[in-house]
Amino acid sequence: MTQTTDTTADTPLAINKLTVNGHAVYAHTGGRPFDPARPVVVLLHGAGMDHTVWSLQTRYLAHHGRSVLAVDLPGHGRSGGEPLDSVAALADWVTALLDAAGVAKAALIGHSMGALVALDAAARHPDRVESVVLLGAAERMPVHPDLLAAAAAAGEPSAIDLVIGWGHGPRGHSGGSLTPGLALIPGGRRLMAAVKPGVLGVDLAACNAYGQGGAAADAVACPALFVLGALDRMAPAKAGRALANRMKTSQVVTIPHTGHMVMTEAPDATVEALTSFLDLRRG
């Protein structure tokens, strides 16, 4: 594990990179040193993206009592290795991440593909997951064959245009970002254009192949929060509510006028939902 520390052995760690399964993994800590003694949250991004999609949530969480690991999944962003080709493999990787960070148990927050990973990890490794927050989630996330083919062609811009276009609701298409200087659609395109060739295709194929969402939801024993965009065209809110109904303990927050990219389109509402749920779990 590569990390920088202060001078005393008891000082919390300022983690830059972890070594997981032999590869360097970048973990953003929200601007505060990582302390595994505090409640830990791990944030998992969606297909073809990286930790920066959580920029408007990580800092708040880190400055309000949590230790944050917003990771770049293998082969994404600043993390090394190759992208893993199944949701189950990514779920197992999460437990290896926790081991590398010295964390016994964490809350998992996932978006889209990351939501499937968090769900599967909670079902397969219940002793490591204290709660899950699933954004833009559904039991199945099928991908159209034409999009799969376009994404498999490395550098194919039409795949990025389709994902970003369908992934945003009206606010993204009208330039209505709540963050000064951030345009959601152009920003999303630039983020996905920077991904390594072939990564988006691997990710979308993993989402398309995952058929265990319902069984995983049935098996999850920990509390769950679903944060859904009312206008999500990629994982419709109706499908998210149906998945939530299969969980033993779940809450649903549906954010109006919002598409699939919940955390960037509605950052304040997302933070409010996250903190209300996590505070309840701490109590």
Q: Please, which pLDDT band fits residue 1 given cuts at 50, 70 and 90?
A: very low
**Token output for 170:** 């009206």
User: Would the pLDDT of 13 be above 60?
Assistant: no
Q: Which amino acid is at 73?
A: L
Q: What is the mean pLDDT of residues 236-242?
A: 98
Q: What is the mean pLDDT of residues 110-125?
A: 98
β 2-4/14-20 pair status: antiparallel
**Token output for 4:** 């920088």
How high is the pLDDT of residue 114?
A: 98
Contact indicator for 2, 18 with CB cutoff of 8 Å = yes
User: Would the pLDDT of 249 be above 80?
Assistant: yes
Element (H, E) at 230: none
**Token output for 104:** 């016994």
Give the domains, in start order, of the chain with CATH numbers. Answer: 2-141+210-282 (3.40.50.1820)
- Radius of gyration for the chain, computed over Cα atoms and rounded to the nearest angstrom: 17
CA 225 → CA 108, 112, 228, 266, distances in Å? 10, 14, 10, 16
Element (H, E) at 117: helix 113-124
d(CA 126, CA 283): 20
**Per-residue pLDDT tens digits for 74-106:** 999 999 999 999 999 999 999 999 999 999 999
Contact indicator for 73, 84 with CB cutoff of 8 Å = yes
Residues in the chain: 283
Q: Tokens 């983020």: give the residue.
A: 191
Q: In what order do the strands lie in the sheet with 67-71?
A: 2-4, 14-20, 23-28, 67-71, 40-44, 106-111, 129-135, 224-229, 250-255
**Per-residue pLDDT tens digits for 128-185:** 999 999 999 999 999 999 999 999 886 678 899 999 998 988 877 776 666 655 688 8
Element (H, E) at 24: strand 23-28
Between 221 and 157, residue with greater pLDDT: 221
Q: Which amino acid is at 84?
A: L
| CA count, 13 A, side-chain hemisphere, 2 | 11
How high is the pLDDT of residue 231?
A: 96
